[in-house]
Amino acid sequence: MNAPVRFQALTVSGLAISAGMTTIVSDVAFTLAQGRPVTLLGASGSGKSLVAHAIMGSLPTGLSARGVITLDGQDLLAGTPAQTRARWGRTIAILPQEPWLALDPTMRIAGQVGEVHQYLHGLGLAEAGARMRADLAEVGLGDRTQAYPHELSGGMCQRAAIAVTHAAGASLLIADEPTKGLDAALRDGVVERLRREVEQGRLLLTITHDIEVAAALGGMVGVMHDGALVEFGPAEQVLAEPRHDYARALIAADPAKWSTSPLPPAGEPVVSASGLSKGFGEKTLFDCLSISVKRGEIVAIVGPSGCGKTTVGNILLGLVAPDQGEVERAAGGS
């Protein structure tokens, strides 16, 4: 019963977003087709969320969009504010970057999902309740239906917001940083949920900093830099062989691509320091301190507040230089 209308494609061409005379985003063009989700990557401030809001028709006051954005041929930028608002939730839904912005803080999540079934889809109370319970169970919140948003963690709020969006059944779903702050297991759960939305025929635009999320969603990947879409292509190609310099640097910076240092053999030191002394101003924190941490060993430093515990750790990590003494790290760890 959720949204029988399924759109085939969203096309963005020549999109520019300005604040008065200042252009913030320019020349953004891509097509998002059924079964081929689009994921936008890019540094903070590169314009990803503004592109999402331009499509939604919810740009902040003072910002305006030019260009053409069509959903199966219908120009989204050309309509009146009333036509734009009529699409919200029903045709296009956005999961905002902060999940609690999508939820009503004064209402239990059961009510927030249930009222979508009741008022948007016109179901009776009993059926709306049953659908609400199914939607919340599907995102792992079946036992928390009576909670208010402030009683839930950020990840739970994110999942509750996904349940509301799913209930609305919009054809085009825009997820802005849907896995922000989630641990790996919850992140995978959200990605799986989004993939299912794609399988059900929804158009999905995701914005993320997480390259693993982009890889898991597949489809097409775009990279934004300084307000421009500098690269766009199939996920496997962009993530494996990015062409643009910035896209290459961004993808190479993924922690999953960092080289790992070989560990020393068991029982050998990973880091050892001798004759360390350190002071700040007049105060000497420690003198002639020697410490070593061997592979597999747990070393604790205990002492009163201000005695220099963190400073020892920072010296071992190479973040702070000792006044005297030497630090040796196992190969690859320096």
What is the binding site for ligand ATP (CB under 6 A)?
19, 24, 42, 44-50, 60, 62-63, 97
- Min dist. Cβ of residue 1 to ligand ATP (A): 34
Residue 24 site contact among Mg ion, ligand ATP, none (CB < 5 to 8 Å, cut-off depends on kind) = ligand ATP
Beta bridge partners of 294: 269
Minimum CB distance to ligand ATP smaller for 135 or for 176: 176
Instruction: Number of residues interacting with Mg ion: please give it, by CB under 5 A.
Output: 1
- The reply to whether 49 sits near Mg ion by the rule CB under 5 A is yes
Residue 62 site contact among ligand ATP, Mg ion, none (CB < 5 to 8 Å, cut-off depends on kind) = ligand ATP
Which of 205, 159, 206 has its CA nearest to residue 186? 159
- C-beta atoms surrounding 206 within 10 Å: 29
Q: Name the one range near Mg ion by CB under 5 A: 16-24, 47-55, 64-72, 241-249.
A: 47-55
- Min dist. Cβ of residue 223 to ligand ATP (A): 11
- Min dist. Cβ of residue 15 to ligand ATP (A): 12
Spatial strand order of the sheet with 38-42 comes to 92-95, 172-176, 203-207, 38-42, 220-225, 228-234
Q: Name the one range near Mg ion by CB under 5 A: 4-12, 49-57, 122-130, 166-174.
A: 49-57
- Min dist. Cβ of residue 211 to Mg ion (A): 16
SS3 287: strand
The tally of CA atoms less than 13 A away on the side-chain side of residue 142 is: 6
- Min dist. Cβ of residue 329 to ligand ATP (A): 34
Residue 44 site contact among Mg ion, ligand ATP, none (CB < 5 to 8 Å, cut-off depends on kind) = ligand ATP
Here the contacts of 285-289 (C-beta below 8 Å, separation 24 or greater) are 285/311, 286/311, 286/312, 288/325, 289/325
- Min dist. Cβ of residue 63 to ligand ATP (A): 5
Compose the 7-46 pattern: x for residues touching Mg ion by CB under 5 A, - for all others.
Answer: ----------------------------------------
Check the CA dihedral 308-310-316-322 and report its sign: negative
- The reply to whether 208 sits near Mg ion by the rule CB under 5 A is no
Residue 255 site contact among ligand ATP, Mg ion, none (CB < 5 to 8 Å, cut-off depends on kind) = none
What's the residue count for the chain?
334
69 contacts: CB under 8 Å, gap ≥ 6: 10, 11, 12, 13, 15, 54, 55, 75, 76, 77
Which of 23, 15, 8 has its CA nearest to residue 68? 15
The closest residue (CB) to Mg ion is: 49
Minimum CB distance to Mg ion smaller for 17 or for 316: 17
Burial class (CB in 10 A: 0-12, 13-18, 19+), 140: middle
- The reply to whether 179 sits near Mg ion by the rule CB under 5 A is no
- Min dist. Cβ of residue 51 to ligand ATP (A): 7
103 contacts: CB under 8 Å, gap ≥ 6: 109, 112, 149, 157, 160, 161, 164
Distance CA 217, CA 186 (A): 15
Beta bridge partners of 31: 11
The single residue listed with the structure tokens 């927030």 is 112
What type of residue is 208? T
Residue 47 site contact among ligand ATP, Mg ion, none (CB < 5 to 8 Å, cut-off depends on kind) = ligand ATP
Minimum CB distance to ligand ATP smaller for 226 or for 323: 226
Compose the 267-296 pattern: x for residues touching Mg ion by CB under 5 A, - for all others.
Answer: ------------------------------
- Min dist. Cβ of residue 333 to ligand ATP (A): 32
Tell me which residues touch Mg ion (CB under 5 A): 49
